[in-house]
Chain A
Amino acid sequence: MGNSAAILRVCNLTVQFQMAKDTVHAVNGIDFELNNGETLGIVGESGSGKSVTIKSIMRLLPTIPAGAIFYNDEDLLKLSEDRMRDIRGKEISMIFQNPMTAFNPVLPIGKQIAESIEFHEDVTAQERRFRVFELLSEVGISNPEYRALQYPHEFSGGMLQRAMIASSLICSPKIVLADEPTTGLDVTIQAQIIRLIKQIKETRQMSLIWITHDLSLLAGLADRIAVMYGGRIVEQANVDALYERPLHPYTQGILASIPTLSTDRSSLLFSIPGLPPNPMALPQGCAFCERCKEAMPICGDRVPALKESKNNHLVACWKYESECGGNE
């Protein structure tokens, strides 16, 4: 990649939710960068903190998280709500997981897509309509003049997700955050949507963060992948390195447990024992410790830091601490 300047820098992001009795430790001090024009995949199970991470970037959470998120040298977490509203939709936009609930059911699709332009730009109603029609056909919705007047329930799931993509692109944002946009869609429709987003990302030169629980899906999509577990990034690497030589025992386990078309039928699948950790009661040490085959005494006591193993391949595991050159 020619331009590897970071467009977004997340530093020590920590998100906690206060419940009646407990505290939910959703995200526990994560650092990552999104480079210009890059697709970063964030993969993790439910409760790993991946959705909370991108909602923090958009400031869509009820609390303001601790840490810093730099976008063009501005710390998004310190901005006023007014300034943040200028950024949302115009500079950074989001594709939500479930388009059926993300759209307002009583407003026509076209009007909802046009909302961003109405808010951010000073253009005539005619220009707005034209831009909506143009974008709807760009995302593969035929007969846009007619479709723009329809309501969400008149769209199929795949079409609605296309409309959702259109609404996130309407102001040509620099960064798009995609929260499992193809979960719930059929594989054939999923392939169409992924191709569409890849195409649009190329032509519009955007940067993309794609959240999913599906490592297979990211293989053909992401440039770099961050693996989250228990609210922390446990491994981060270029896509080829991560699949060819995963370092963290969790990543290794997940990759080994996905049945693929070449899996041997006669033997049992590899599976990680146990359950993902409860974010209300994270263990003192490494969150994966209880399920890890290679756990050592130190793993239960202290959380390993995310450190470079080699060539931009970061891992948070005590197993690699000596070769990482750590002197703690």
Chain B
Amino acid sequence: MQKYVIRRVLLAIPVLLLSSLIVFGLMRVMPGDALIALMGESGNVGQKELAKLRKDLGLDRPYHEQYLLWLWQMVSLSPGDSIFTNEPIPVSLKKAIPVTLELATLAMIIGLVIAVPVGVLSATRQDKPSDYIGRVVAVSGLSIPDFWLGTLVITFAAIWIHWIPPIGYVSLWDSPWRNLQQFLLPAAVLGFRLSAATMRMTRSTVLETLREDYVRTAWAKGLAGRIVVYKHALKNALIPVVTIIGGQLGTLLAGTVVVEQIFALPGMGRLTVEAILYRDYPVVQTNVMLVAATLVTLNLIVDLTYAWLDPRIRYR
């Protein structure tokens, strides 16, 4: 296992470096440079001011120097200030990260709470009405855009039950009840989307496992159906589901971008979209890199968990 862990960690480093090159390169292919793109839109900016700003931001240096400097800033957790608000980026991130973290965690819990029981029910009642309902729900989850579902949920909650989520973000520690009211709907919307793929995977792996010899033996021994399914079949069926959850992390992080926008939650997603709209490139490149690093790390953890659960993986 130790060798496997070292190999996986070593593979993650070049991927992260290449991701940083892609993000950095992307911000530099902007016609002219980032500053001209930003200032050009506001107009009335003299050449002197532009040159000064370019010097302050280090944009007058050669690309390789800019890249190394940025990499150092990222590693030393001091990625600079926002061009638009002048706020230091770590300060904005400190406010935004807990919001996204809470939203993502709640959505993941809701997604799993929906996906696993429905997936098991679908598999144990294959081709019965409850199976069809489960499968339709899963395909809908993959097809309904989260921004549409979010919009409908807000509106119909307001029209039918005369309830709108409290406005103005309140942290979990300041007012847990108010915070939960703010996060429940967005997390449910995101969780519904996440549940779709997990539900499909749970159904197919439980179906496969139920046909295994050891499950047949359990039935033959006269064990109760619930024990056969939950104690014997589900335990092994859930191993591949871990991989699907790993694959879902990208969807989860991308989903927070949209859902935070709709429900006005001041998280990472909203910060990134606003930075993109205002062409605030230091914030964009820091946020995108942070998301990539988070995804690589989480996937690494998922891979290691999978290898721990299924020893065959380690010896490949």
Do A and B associate with each other?
no
